Structure 1
């Protein structure tokens, strides 16, 4: 019989109902009709003959087969909790059983190992940094194209020591530009008061003379702008795909961050507003620090934790939206009978409910009636629960993935230490 891992020890002359199954040295006796209850499975195909064998031997996992045989008998597939889910899936595939038939009570245990394996494949802790660096260096040496080398130099901080230095210099200029603009907004330096003019809907002419501090900050701004333009131009020229480069969100932010200087010398309201918006883009560039820290253990695990928890966390905004509608409507009708009510419409009730549920509590809109205060009490309690809800999800996932990665990347070192401690052996 041509089946992997199975051999027929004895064939019966008739169609005997009893069949002996020897799996890994453990014998099981069952009926032919029991094995025929799952058409398409391996055992059903083996006994679906005119002369089925009276005994079959399989060199497979005996503990898993006990659950497989119970699935033939009861129609419910359960999994042992002490075995790896990947091993179970491999055994189920051999016996021709679909893993989708696993019972809900055992599904989490069955899937946990596969999800953990996926997490370990995507998380790259600091322990793997040296291996990746050496691999990238080999790739860089094998590639003679200047374009690939320059792209790695400016966009892949861990490709070389020079790339790491350039990434740190870029972050330094980003911080320097933000600090310079923040100091420029001081009243003692910003004598022409452009920001105040924008706030008051008026225009002010740019003065002919500037304080020394303002000239120094303008010089710093020019130097930072030159570096940003140089860096963006180099990355745009050397990138492998121009379309992907300009479609990337962070690259769009980098492009917008190049323009604050062009609006610096204008005093109209639109220019001042554009100046503030573009400097916000420059602050967003600080997210580059995550690219520089992508191989740091904690950052790598936290990044994957947030991605893995995203599906569960999506329910929080939905609940917040529903509770805002409910409590906003309740507070409006609860305060409707009071003459000095702060809630002139349901929209103002929505604003109050949102501020209360998020535990911000501005206090600009407050209930004054007894029933309104009862609604506020309930709204505040629900808000606390909504804020606390995401915390255990993130913490539990972070601890789980952190423990997995630490265990995985400590095991090779443990084996290496054992071999070193053991030392060479000699025979007499």
Structure 2
């Protein structure tokens, strides 16, 4: 009995062509990698000009044409090439881009990057686009990783939105050279020595304005006549021993205020003239604060000028005057333009709006609930200060916030029980959203310091050296762009330096020296 050749068992008597690939050698893997780029996709290999489907049992011999080995800081990963090809615009999905990281001696791709982050990066390809940050990886580190692997701007925006964070947008630069210089002077204090001097002057003027606002309310510097008479209002005048007060425009506080307003107005007009986008200028909250800071001065000036005749009724102008002057206190927020700490606090509050909204909602529920309970618990006491439920709102609020002024307090046993429950509920309500707010503050705080520290390191790139070239936006004369964090204390900035630089191919960062 003739025993059939084992090579015929598979194909029913027809010999199966067997091509066994040699293991790649050092120095020969570049050829293997080049062959991999031109290999047919998903489950097919070319054999002598003909394409035939490879059986599952023979895939182990030809796994080099489908399987990709990736080494991330010593941790090995393996996946199929078709998995990476799902997103061809990314670093791993584009065979030409990832070729720069191919280690010919080991036959694998090597990335000196964060290992814990790569689990999520690889899962992004395997799941078809779902990106989730590992719990043991900080947000800023994971954001650098997804930018390195060129996952995509839309994915980055979605990731930041899922994390409850806002992305720092690129700010366009003016097209005129003079406007660029003016914009850098007033908008980027770290761009040059002159810009730093202007920032210091602006801070000093703000402090003087706030000091004038506070000092003019002292009794020795304030005189307000009876609002029911027709005497002229001189709220900032100095009155000595029955003498007639000086004219309002001769008052020293008014002169200092006028000088401060002149600087604020010049600063606001200069920014408006140099800004590249008037629409974005109107939407900027800092410019709104600048406008609110100078508006009370002109309103008060108009009221004083229209009231010089002394014939108008003073009750209404005085009430309006006090409200308008109260708005001047918002000038203190102008310091946030020059204080990174206040900017971090503002970003934290903006990112925590949902948690703050829940906190206020829970406090309102507690105030209504416990004020109602306290009112009915104290209803039998004739000397109780809980005269109504709205009057009890104040007591419930100061109790839940653990302030406890003591102006209102329960005296009955039922009222004291309600007060105890109100205090405990207030502590729990306030404590719940605090960790989220603190986490957001820590993120923005560390990100700000990381941006400062990043200028002290030299980034070493891998792969072929690539010379940065001017972007197309600079060539055709369109508007330039600048991110505020790009400004550094270590170098003088010029308008020509803010062309929108980009690299022809992103080479990546291996180490920080």
- TMscore range, shorter length: 0.5 to 0.7
Cα 1:406–1:93 shift into 2, 3 Å: same
What is the Cα deviation at residue 326 of structure 1?
1.5
Q: 1:330 aligns with which of 373, 377, 386?
A: 373
Aligned to 2:476: none
Where does 1:26-425 land on structure 2 (aligned, <5 Å)? 46=43, 52-54=55-57, 55=59, 56-57=63-64, 58-61=67-70, 83-85=115-117, 87-95=118-126, 97=128, 99=130, 108=135, 114=142, 144-191=176-223, 193=224, 197=226, 204-206=231-233, 209-210=244-245, 215-248=251-284, 249-259=288-298, 260-263=300-303, 268-294=314-340, 302-399=345-442, 402=445
Distance 1:114 1:374, change over 3 A: same
Distance change (3 Å), C-alpha of 1:50 and 1:332: farther
Aligned residues: 336
Query: Post-superposition shift, 1:330?
Result: 1.2
Distance 1:407 1:180, change over 3 A: closer
1:258 shift after superposition:
3.7
C-alpha distance in 2, partners of 1:352/1:176? 38
Counterpart position of 2:96: none
Inter-CA distance 408–251: structure 2 relative to 1 (3 Å threshold): closer
Which region of structure 1 is more displaced relative to structure 2, 236-245 or 203-212? 203-212
SS of match in other structure, 2:220: coil
Change beyond 3 A, Cα 1:91–1:227: closer
Tell me the distance in 2 between the aligned counterparts of 1:371 and 1:346: 16
How far did 1:391 drift? 4.2
Tell me the secondary structure at the aligned position of residue 362 of structure 1: coil
| Structure 2 unpaired stretches of 5+ | 1-9, 13-23, 25-41, 45-51, 80-113, 146-159, 235-242, 308-312, 461-513
Residue 307 of structure 1 deviates from its aligned partner by 4.1
- How far off its partner does 1:370 sit? 0.6
Q: Is the 8 A contact 2:213 2:328 kept in 1?
A: no
Q: Distance in 1 between matches of 2:119 and 2:326?
A: 52
Helix, strand or coil: the match of 1:60? strand
Aligned-pair CA distance for 1:375: 0.4
Q: Give the superposed CA RMSD.
A: 4.4
SS of alignment partner, residue 351 of structure 1: helix
- 5+ residue gaps, structure 1, are 1-11, 15-24, 26-44, 67-81, 125-131, 418-428
Q: Given the superposition, is the C-alpha separation of residues 174 and 402 from structure 1 closer, same or farther in structure 2, using an over 3 Å criterion?
A: closer
Using CA pairs under 8 Å that are at least 6 residues apart, name the structure with larger relative contact order, 1 or 2. Answer: 2
2:411 and 2:144 map into 1 onto residues whose CA distance is: 53
Give 1:356 shift: 1.4
1:324-361 per-residue CA deviation (whole Å, 9 max, x = no partner) reads 12112211221223333322322222232112112232
Give the Å deviation of 1:373: 0.7
CA contact 2:355–2:437 (8 Å) conserved in 1: no
- C-alpha deviations, 1:256-290, integer Å up to 9, x for none? 24424334575823333333333333321222222
Distance (whole Å) between structure 2 residues aligned to residue 183 and residue 413 of structure 1: 44
Higher helix share: 1
Contact 2:348–2:441 under 8 Å retained in 1: yes
Does the residue aligned with 1:59 lie in a helix, a strand or coil? strand
Deviates more, 1:267-276 or 1:329-338: 267-276
In terms of mean alpha carbon deviation, does 299-308 or 235-244 score higher?
A: 299-308
Residue pair 2:186, 2:267 contacting (<8 A) in 1 also: yes
Q: Deviations over 1:3-55 (max 9, x none)?
A: xxxxxxxxx759xxxxxxxxxx9xxxxxxxxxxxxxxxxxxx749x9764322
Deviation of residue 59 (structure 1)?
A: 1.7
